[in-house]
Amino acid sequence: MTLRFTARAVAAEVDLDNDVMRAGVAEDEAGEGFFLLFMSNIGEPSRQNMSLGLDSHCVVTQSHGTAYGCVRAVTLSGGRLTVSLDPASLDELGLDDPEIEAELDVPDEDIERMRAVLAQVLAFGRADSRPRYVGL
Domain ranges of the chain: 2-134
pLDDT at 63: 92
The pLDDT of residue 60 is above 90 = yes
3-class SS of residue 18: coil
Contacts of 110 (CB under 8 A, 6+ apart): 10, 12
Q: What is the mean pLDDT of the chain?
A: 92
Instruction: Give the distance, in angstroms, between the CA of residue 97 and the centroid of all CA atoms in the same chain.
Output: 15
The pLDDT of residue 48 is above 90 = no
The pLDDT of residue 47 is above 90 = no
CB atoms within 10 A of CB 17: 5
pTM here? 0.93
pLDDT at 96: 96
Can you give the length of the chain in residues?
Answer: 136
According to DSSP, residue 44 is labeled: S
pLDDT at 51: 65
